[in-house]
């Protein structure tokens, strides 16, 4: 049914197809020794009308394959490159000129992320100066459509339940305050990795499956006047509350990763559960709806991940993929 609905939406609303592609994407991870070529991967995105791709590093083969595709790309720096990028604008320009600039004319790079999940941690101090330096480089080139951001996990939150009580953790707060104030000044969103699966699998007694999977028929969590039928929206609003408590109210959020493994942890990870979650996630993104706290702000994002990657740690980490390495669906989502 979801396939029919999505197909109808793309055929019937051709004028709005660009807008629709702004709100759903898939992360393209490459930690496997049996994955398709980047050219074949781009063709797979196009075949299934996946309009956005997240790349975790500036892989030249993938960026070459994306030339002229029209697929919107969120591109990450390697975490280990952050100290160099943060050291000076000249160093950031050297990095940009080497890895990004050669593709700017015919690859639609919309976001450039300074690192992935490095706050809190040893590299956290480099995120803000790296963002500032990359912003200076982008401004120098006049690339108004390329926004600088970073990706954080829910580990930056100290308290997250209920959402209105959310704050940044003591370990993350200093870095996060600088980051969100930079994003406020530049008009760029913060990217967040949100996994209801982990909350459910770690505490199935208190975290309801229907709340984690978007299948609850009514409110599950009531937070003051705000009603939450699903966990993803509660986590997103926890970030909005945490930012608001630091005086930042104008930074939007993008879900840079979310997904559900289809194997690796017994009855918590079946193809049916993974399919249910990811189908509903796609449906949620394509509504262009906001959250209970910010119904006026459209929430978009990315499914993690495109493929089952066999060189990741054994267990669930190898089983987040929508597709097998041969290009066949693990289960149907699109």
Q: Note the pLDDT tens digit of each residue in 200-214.
A: 999 999 999 999 999
Indicate the angle between helix axes 127-141 and 89-99, nearest 10 degrees: 70
Backbone φ, ψ for residue 78 (5° rounding): -70, 140
- Which pair of structure tokens corresponds to residue 161? 């339940």
pLDDT, average across residues 65-78: 98
Cα 43–chain centre separation: 21
Question: What pLDDT, on the 0 to 100 scale, is given for residue 233?
Answer: 98
Question: What pLDDT, on the 0 to 100 scale, is given for residue 107?
Answer: 98
**Nearest Cα to Cα of residue 130 among 93, 75, 181, 177:** 93
**Residue 20 or 98, more confident:** 98
pLDDT, average across residues 240-251: 98
* pTM of the predicted model as reported, rounded to 2 decimal places: 0.92
Residue 160 has pLDDT above 90, yes or no: no
Burial class of 334 by CB neighbour count within 10 A (0 to 12, 13 to 18, 19+): buried
Question: What pLDDT, on the 0 to 100 scale, is given for residue 13?
Answer: 33
Which residues are marked as active site? 117, 257
CA angle 216, 193, 93 (to 5 degrees): 155
Residue 289, helix vs strand vs coil? coil
Residue 9 has pLDDT above 60, yes or no: no
Which residue in this structure is represented by tokens 């979650």? 277
Write down the mean pLDDT value for the chain. Answer: 93
Kindly report each contact of residues 95-104 with a partner whose C-beta sits within 8 Å and lies 24 or more positions away, as own/partner. 96/134, 96/137, 96/138, 99/58, 99/60, 100/58, 100/75, 101/141, 103/63, 103/64, 103/66, 103/67, 104/141, 104/143, 104/146
Question: What pLDDT, on the 0 to 100 scale, is given for residue 24?
Answer: 84
Cα–Cα distances in angstroms (integers) from residue 228 to residues 119, 215, 223, 277, in the given order? 27, 12, 8, 16
Q: Are 110 and 147 in contact (CB under 8 A)?
A: yes
């Amino acid at each position: 049914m979801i396939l029919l609905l999505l197909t109808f939406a793309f055929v019937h609303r051709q004028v709005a197809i660009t807008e629709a592609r702004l709100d759903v994407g898939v992360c393209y991870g490459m930690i496997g020794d049996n994955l398709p070529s980047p050219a074949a991967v781009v063709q797979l995105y196009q075949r299934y009308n996946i309009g956005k791709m997240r790349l975790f590093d500036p892989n030249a083969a993938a960026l070459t394959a994306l030339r002229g595709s029209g697929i919107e790309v969120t591109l990450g720096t390697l975490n280990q490159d952050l100290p160099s990028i943060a050291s000076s604008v000249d160093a950031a320009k050297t990095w940009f000129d080497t890895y990004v600039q050669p593709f700017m004319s015919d690859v639609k790079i919309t976001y450039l992320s300074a690192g992935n999940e490095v706050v809190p941690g040893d590299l956290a101090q480099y995120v803000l100066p790296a963002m500032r330096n990359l912003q200076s480089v982008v401004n120098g080139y006049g690339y108004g459509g390329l926004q600088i951001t970073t990706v954080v996990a829910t580990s930056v939150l100290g308290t997250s339940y209920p959402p209105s009580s959310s704050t940044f953790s003591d370990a993350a707060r200093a870095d996060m305050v600088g980051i969100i104030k930079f994003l406020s000044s530049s008009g760029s969103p913060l990217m967040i990795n949100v996994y209801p699966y982990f909350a459910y699998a770690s505490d199935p007694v208190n975290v309801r499956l229907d709340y984690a999977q978007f299948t609850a028929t009514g409110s599950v969590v009531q937070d003051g006047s705000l009603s939450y039928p699903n966990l993803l929206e509660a986590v997103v609003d926890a970030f909005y509350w945490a930012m608001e408590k630091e005086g930042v109210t104008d930074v939007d959020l993008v879900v840079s990763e979310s997904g559900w493994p289809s194997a690796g942890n017994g009855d918590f990870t079946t193809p049916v559960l993974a399919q249910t979650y990811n189908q509903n996630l796609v449906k949620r993104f394509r509504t262009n709806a906001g959250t209970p706290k910010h119904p006026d702000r459209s929430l978009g994002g990315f499914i993690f991940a495109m493929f089952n990657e066999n060189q990741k740690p054994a267990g669930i980490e190898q089983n987040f993929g929508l597709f097998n390495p041969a290009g066949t669906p693990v289960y149907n989502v699109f």
